[in-house]
Amino acid sequence: MTIEHKVVIVTGSSSGIGRATALHLSSCGAKLVLAARREKAIADVAAEIESAGGEVVYRPTDVTRRDDLTTLVRLACDHFGRLDVLVNNAGIGPLSRFDALRVDEWDTMIDINIKGVLYGIAAALPVFGRQGSGHIVNVVSTAGLRISPTMGVYAATKNAVRTITEALRQEAGPTLRVTEVSPGFVATNFAESNSDEAVKLSIKKQMDDIAISPEAIARAIAFAIDQPPEVDVGSIVIRPTAQA
């Protein structure tokens, strides 16, 4: 395996896909740098990793603040001596119809889902350039592949990241790998960011009916990381078999 001893940052690693990814990569021998806004939650994930014999550090991080991402990358380099992979996973999805005019929620999605990814890329690229290697994994969504009512802004943010990922891949040169992973319905707390109760209940019902575990996405991310250096997995779509 090529995951062993790699230093990996995972944003949004306090729960859901981020937590599952951190735990799985650690079980494969990676050294983890955890980031999320809730310090207690990432401290708990770090303790779980350490109790299993893994190596981990963490820092409370708000991805809407560029300095937080710069500091996070510096933490990885100062503590472990390098950075091999950045998993841009932090994201939210408060869904609503356009005529609900939840403009503040639109702004927050843009700040976290798009700017947060860009700030992570900006922090990691200089390190990857000095090392002559690196890997950026952006967690996107199948919401951008099949547009549905109430998902307009959320899907737009995820398709923006899909575009950013592909452009970066083409610019990256022979030593930087770039991957986008598009999960479908996954059993996480995604619905909780929704202030529209009807939408929240609808999402929860679909999750109860068909959602797959976050560990499935973690394994997909690990698959991309685990390839030889000359192999770049550009895109992975992973969804429930029952999802339309």
Return the HEC string of 178-210.
EEEEEECCECCCHHHHCCCHHHHHHHHHHHHHH
- Between 205 and 22, the more confident residue is 22
- pLDDT category at 57 given cuts 50, 70, 90 is very high
CA 76, 226, 233: angle at the middle one, nearest 5?
100
Asked if 119 is an active-site residue, the reply is no
Q: Tokens 């990241």 appear where?
A: 161
Residue 202: the pLDDT is 81
Selecting among 106, 119, 128, 154, the annotated active-site residue is 154
What number is the average pLDDT over the span 30-37?
Answer: 98
Q: 7-238: what CATH class?
A: alpha beta
Q: List b or e across 161-193, with b for residues whose CB sees 16 or more CB atoms inside 10 angstroms.
A: bbebbeebbeebeeebbbbbbbbbbbbbebbeb
pLDDT at 190: 81
Which residue ranges make up each domain of the chain? 7-238
- Give the pLDDT confidence score for residue 175 in this predicted structure: 94
Q: Are 46 and 58 in contact (CB under 8 A)?
A: yes
The owner of tokens 């790998």 is 177
What does pTM read for this prediction? 0.95
Residue for token pair 């950045």: 86
State pLDDT tens for residues 183-207: 999 998 887 777 777 777 888 888 8
For 125-186, the three-class secondary structure string (H helix, E strand, C coil) is HHHHHHHCCEEEEEECCHHHCCCCCCCHHHHHHHHHHHHHHHHHHHHCCCCEEEEEEEECCE
Q: Is the pLDDT of residue 141 over 80?
A: yes
DSSP 8-state assignment for residue 212 = B
Mean pLDDT across the stretch 74-87?
98
Distance of alpha carbon 119 from alpha carbon 61, whole angstroms = 12
Whether residue 134 is predicted with pLDDT greater than 80 in this model: the reply is yes
Are 14 and 56 in contact, with CB atoms under 8 Å apart? Answer: no
Give the three-class secondary structure for 19: helix
**Is it the case that residue 77 has pLDDT exceeding 90?**
yes
pLDDT exceeds cutoff 70 at 160: yes
pLDDT (0 to 100) of residue 1: 62
Report d(CA 150, CA 142) in Å as an integer.
Answer: 14
